Structure 1
Amino acid sequence: MTTATTKTDTAKDLDDLVLETPKAEDLAALLVGQERPQRPSAISASVTFGWRAMLKIKHVPEQLFDVTAFPIMMVLMYTYLFGGALAGSTQEYIQFLLPGILTMSIVMITMYTGVAVNTDISKGVFDRFRTLPIWRPAPMVGYLLGDLIRYGLGSAVMLAVGMLIGYRPDGGFVGVVLGVALLLVFAFSFSWVWTMFGLMLRTEKSVMGVSMMIIFPLTFLSNIFVDPKTMPGWLQAFVNNSPVTHVASAVRELMAGNWPAADIAWSLGWSVALVTIFGTITMRLYNRK
């Protein structure tokens, strides 16, 4: 009897535990009473997304092709293709060409930022990002911070190849670092153009197509390959006011040991304008998409 009674009481106790409805006050105490984790800062969130971009390269190392093999091909091809015809020798032409072709290559590979953004949107990753309690621009800034590493790697590869075939910067190490730093600032700003297109357009191919339509005129209609003085007057007006021309001139002069104040000011001014205009449009699209 005693054993049977004990089993019956235990069963009733278990039924009471199962059937008892939790009170609202108890749930509120569990949910609100606990200390909430501190919200990450804007810098911390952006760096985290930048690290995410680097991890994607770790798992798909073929993404580094555009900052390794592509720059090497560009330097060698244009040096030995145009050097003899334009400057009389490749040795002389590489002194003029390398800072310009460095600018061209880094500007061209910025378009892959827009492609990466469009890919993540099509996979639904951004839907998750928008639900996180983080600084809203952090995913976009993270993309660009990760790409800065790629741009730096591409610059190092091109400079190494240039030095091997005869490039000698009169500005020394300091001039090279200043030139590359200015180029990276402009590349970071210019990448906001492609994040906008990555959000606007529906497919990766569309982003690539529009990007090439913009990049090719900007890079080829500049002073990267030749002095604009040999061009028709109407074309000189466009080339001399192109942002790529200002950046290429500033990088070239800094690496030569000079201080081109006007070109540096124009390059930084264009950078601020690009971030202000396209960064604002990008965030509006991101918040609405």
Structure 2
Amino acid sequence: MLQMKTNTQVLRNSLTLTHRNLLKTLHNPDNVSDVLVQPIIFTLLFGYLFGGVIAGSVHAYLPMLVSGILVQSILNAASGSGQQLREDINQGIFDRFKTLPIAPIAPLAGQLVGDSLRLLLSGGMAMVTAALMGWRPTVNFGALMMALFLAVFIGWSTSWIFALVGLLVKNAELISSLSMIIILVLTFLSNAFIPVKTLPHFLQTIVRINPVTTTITAIRGILNTGHWSETATMVVVSGAVIILVFMPLTVMAYQRHD
């Protein structure tokens, strides 16, 4: 009975702090930009600037672009985990949480649960923007949700890495800059925006071993065929491995800081 009461308290405290983190996102222009504005800007920018050059028209380019923008947007949103954690620590917010009668793990849990909702919103915004530009998926709604949730899952698993970085690196601006550079390199050195066969051979090798390429290939396959693939299963397994490795490391770093 006591264990059930404790679990209920942890859940209630975590959901309360999830609500707090979502409100913080909405009231912070930088966070709103990562979650809502960037998917719109990049979809419009790449679609209208490069659609004609790469695919002959914007409409023909959108099926390729959607999966790339979806993954890029979700990774951008996931990178905010580390920055937000570090900002709360540097501003003394976590020290104030320690004085409250809440579960000790609740602040970290609230951040990561809130991340999953932010990722879902960011991915949905990318899809809606593409639809307004003329993208008409050939698969059913279930396949669209399958692709979206696969992207959100891999983004959420990656957010554990960024959360660990946020707990270890003391400068929030440095975390933001490094995250942006890493994400830009990984997405541009992938099949997100261009056909891999157009690249020089040495770059093709780099692109094919890039995990972002594998993720985009899995999502693109679902959006094109409506079916789950072995590549999609590989992405899920990879995400699960990331969680199994980085979740305990993040919790340990958080408890040590606590």
Look up the match of 1:241.
209
**Distance verdict in 2 for CA 1:247–1:43, change over 3 Å:** farther
Please report how far the alpha carbon of residue 53 of structure 1 lies from its aligned counterpart in structure 2 after TM superposition. Answer: 1.0
**1:75-224 equivalent positions in 2, closer than 5 A:** 75-130=43-98, 136-224=104-192
TM-score when normalising by structure 1? 0.79
Look up the match of 1:225.
193
Look up the match of 2:41.
73
Please report how far the alpha carbon of residue 136 of structure 1 lies from its aligned counterpart in structure 2 after TM superposition. Answer: 4.8
**Distance verdict in 2 for CA 1:238–1:270, change over 3 Å:** farther
Look up the match of 1:9.
none
**Distance verdict in 2 for CA 1:205–1:61, change over 3 Å:** closer
Please report how far the alpha carbon of residue 230 of structure 1 lies from its aligned counterpart in structure 2 after TM superposition. Answer: 2.8
Look up the match of 2:6.
39
Structure 2 Cα separation of the partners of residues 236 and 65 of structure 1: 32
Structure 1 Cα separation of the partners of residues 103 and 242 of structure 2: 21
Please report how far the alpha carbon of residue 150 of structure 1 lies from its aligned counterpart in structure 2 after TM superposition. Answer: 2.0
User: Do 2:43 and 2:69's aligned partners in 1 also have CA atoms closer than 8 Å?
Assistant: yes
**Higher alpha-carbon deviation: 135-144 or 241-250:** 135-144
User: Do 2:72 and 2:183's aligned partners in 1 also have CA atoms closer than 8 Å?
Assistant: no
Please report how far the alpha carbon of residue 135 of structure 1 lies from its aligned counterpart in structure 2 after TM superposition. Answer: 5.3
Look up the match of 1:273.
241
**1:250-289 equivalent positions in 2, closer than 5 A:** 250-289=218-257
User: In structure 1, the residue corresponding to 2:190 is in which secondary structure?
Assistant: coil
Look up the match of 1:26.
none
Structure 2 Cα separation of the partners of residues 84 and 258 of structure 1: 26
RMSD across aligned positions (CA): 2.4
**Higher alpha-carbon deviation: 165-174 or 122-131:** 122-131
**Distance verdict in 2 for CA 1:137–1:272, change over 3 Å:** farther
User: In structure 2, the residue corresponding to 1:202 is in which secondary structure?
Assistant: coil
**1:41-56 equivalent positions in 2, closer than 5 A:** 41=8, 42-56=10-24
Structure 2 Cα separation of the partners of residues 148 and 286 of structure 1: 19
Look up the match of 1:21.
none
Structure 2 Cα separation of the partners of residues 109 and 49 of structure 1: 18
Runs (5+) with no aligned partner, structure 1: 1-34
The one-letter code sitting in structure 1 at the alignment partner of 2:6 is: R
Aligned length, in residue pairs: 254
Structure 1 Cα separation of the partners of residues 64 and 11 of structure 2: 38
Structure (1 or 2) with the larger CA radius of gyration: 1
User: Do 1:39 and 1:133's aligned partners in 2 also have CA atoms closer than 8 Å?
Assistant: no
User: In structure 2, the residue corresponding to 1:39 is in which secondary structure?
Assistant: helix
Structure 2 Cα separation of the partners of residues 87 and 173 of structure 1: 25
Q: Deviations over 1:19-53 (max 9, x none)?
A: xxxxxxxxxxxxxxxx9x94343433332321221
TM-score when normalising by structure 2? 0.88
Q: Deviations over 1:259-278 (max 9, x none)?
A: 24222122112211221222
